[in-house]
């Protein structure tokens, strides 16, 4: 497998003249591309709004712009440009948000994109890809860039701890564990901790179903409904505000199907997280595998006792 996002993006760009790489001076993941792509690499400077408008203009000319910026500034500073110039016409602009969620580490709340999924999925036409790790990102990238719709890509470079299903389809979750007691639904950078937590729970005799959602829009409704019907507790784990993310998606879906079931949403409820390096964030916020497993176990046992 290609080792890096940059290499995969370059491959796609070399195979398709229409692809252009844009950035609002966020080059961390694409440092080598200016040299390789020449004028098909466009750094607009620290101008998220202008970059999105320019991306729309390029798309009108038949290009496929892949636009990079920090997730917080891409989805919020430029939100109205995304909604108006990309969302309304449904132009195939791909928005890559860097260091979303807990990946912003010690930057502080200015940089914490914890509402990016809520904002992006709320825009008609815009699709949302939230890979679990770098491998998952690389597996999904060709399909997402090749799709004719606009997409938000919640970038992550966390290393994979599992071998992912190489078949990627928008709206199709990846089933990693089968189980009947607890379903854990997860996306994005917390996949690693969720997977380890699921294994711990399994070792203690709890039968866990683990789903990596991959795309949150379209979302795999069938997989979520199956998990809800089959298990006794549905857990959502996300590095996102409680409002508008996976928990909300699940709640909307279950309500539509008149399903009322026990859930445990793990998310940030009306607050930002403590700025720190990633291991400290995970520890302080109770998001390590051990903490997650413990939280799920307590909730599950309370349910069984009731």
Partner 1 sequence: MGEMTLGELEGLARGVRAHCVRMATGGGCFLGASLSCADLLVFLYTSFLRISPERLADPERDYFLLSKGHDAPALYGTLAELGYFPIARLAAHLRPEDALYWHPNRRVPGVEFHSGSLGHLLSVGAGIAYDIKLRGGQNRVVVLLGDGELNEGSIWETLLVARAKELGNLIIVVDRNQFQANARTESLIPLEPLAAKFEAFGCWCAEVDGHDFLALGRRFTLLPARSRQPLVVIANTIRGKGLPSIEARADRWFCNFTPDEVERLLQELEGGLAAPLTSPELVVR
Task: Select 93 or 208, whichever has its Cβ closest to partner 1.
Answer: 93
As measured in angstroms, the least distance from the Cβ of 28 to partner 1 is 21
Parallel, antiparallel or unpaired: strands 151-154 and 174-177: unpaired
Stretch that binds partner 1, among 50-58, 114-122, 183-191, 245-253 (CB under 8 A): 50-58
Nearer to partner 1, 77 or 154 (CB): 77
58 near partner 1, judged by CB under 8 A = yes
Q: Binding to partner 1 by residue 252, rule CB under 8 A?
A: no
Question: Whose CA is closest to 265, among 248, 284, 290?
Answer: 248
Q: Counting contacts by CB under 8 A, is residue 55 touching partner 1? A: yes
Task: Output the six-digit token pair for 91.
Answer: 């132009």
- Taking the C-alpha atoms of residue 32 and residue 150, their distance in angstroms, rounded to an integer, is 25
Binding mask 17-46 for partner 1 (x = CB under 8 A): ----------------------xx-x-xx-
Find the part of the chain contacting partner 1 (CB under 8 A) among 4-12, 49-57, 68-76, 126-134.
49-57
Q: Is 88 in the site for partner 1 (CB under 8 A)?
A: yes
Question: Distance (Å, rounded) from C-alpha 179 to C-alpha 227?
Answer: 9
Q: Residue 44 Cβ, how far from partner 1 at the closest point, in Å? A: 5
Question: Under the criterion CB under 8 A, does residue 228 sit at the interface with partner 1?
Answer: no
Q: How far is the C-alpha of 127 from the C-alpha of 133, rounded, in Å?
A: 18
Name which of 57 and 279 has its Cβ closer to partner 1.
57
Q: Specify the residue, 89 or 142, whose C-beta has the smaller distance to partner 1.
A: 89
Structure tokens at 279: 């291991």
Q: Which of 299, 273, 213 is nearest to 249 (CA)?
A: 213
* Residue 262 to residue 265: CA distance in whole angstroms: 10
CA-to-CA distance for 252 and 161, rounded, in angstroms? 31
Only segment of 84-92, 128-136, 173-181, 279-287 that touches partner 1 (CB under 8 A)? 84-92
Tell me how many residues contact partner 1 (CB under 8 A): 28
Residue 63 is a binding residue for partner 1 (CB under 8 A): yes
> Quick one: which of 4, 7, 11, 89 contacts partner 1 (CB under 8 A)?
89
CB closer to partner 1 out of 59 and 228? 59
Q: Does 60 bind partner 1 (CB under 8 A)?
A: yes
Catalog residues that contact partner 1 under the rule CB under 8 A.
39-40, 42, 44-45, 47, 49-63, 65, 80-81, 84-85, 88-89
């Amino acid at each position: 497998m290609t080792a890096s996002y940059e290499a995969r993006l370059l491959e796609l760009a070399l195979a398709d003249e229409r692809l252009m790489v844009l950035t609002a001076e966020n080059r961390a993941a694409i440092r080598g591309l200016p040299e390789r792509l020449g004028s098909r690499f466009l750094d607009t400077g620290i101008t998220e709004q202008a970059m999105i408008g320019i991306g729309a203009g390029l798309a009108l000319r038949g290009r496929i712009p892949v636009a990079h910026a920090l997730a917080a500034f891409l989805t919020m500073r430029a939100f109205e440009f995304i909604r108006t110039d990309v969302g309304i016409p449904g132009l195939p602009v791909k928005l890559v948000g860097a260091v979303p969620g807990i990946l912003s580490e010690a930057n502080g709340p200015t940089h914490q994109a914890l509402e990016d999924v809520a904002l992006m999925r709320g825009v008609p036409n815009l699709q949302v890809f939230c890979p679990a790790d770098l491998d998952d990102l690389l597996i999904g990238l060709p399909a997402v860039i090749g799709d004719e719709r606009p997409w938000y890509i919640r970038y992550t470079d966390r290393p994979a701890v599992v071998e992912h299903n190489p078949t990627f389809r928008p709206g199709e979750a990846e089933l990693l564990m089968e189980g009947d007691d607890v379903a854990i639904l997860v996306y994005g950078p917390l996949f690693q901790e969720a997977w380890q937590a699921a294994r711990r729970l399994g070792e203690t005799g709890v039968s866990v179903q683990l789903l990596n959602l991959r795309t949150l829009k379209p979302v795999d409704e069938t997989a979520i409904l199956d998990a809800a019907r089959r298990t006794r507790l549905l857990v959502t784990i996300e590095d996102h505000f409680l409002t508008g993310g996976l928990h909300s998606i699940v709640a909307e879906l279950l309500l539509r199907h008149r399903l009322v079931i026990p859930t445990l949403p793990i998310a940030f409820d009306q607050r930002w997280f403590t700025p720190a390096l990633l291991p400290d964030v995970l520890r302080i916020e109770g998001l390590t595998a051990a903490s997650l497993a413990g939280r799920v176990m307590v909730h599950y046992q309370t349910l069984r006792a009731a």
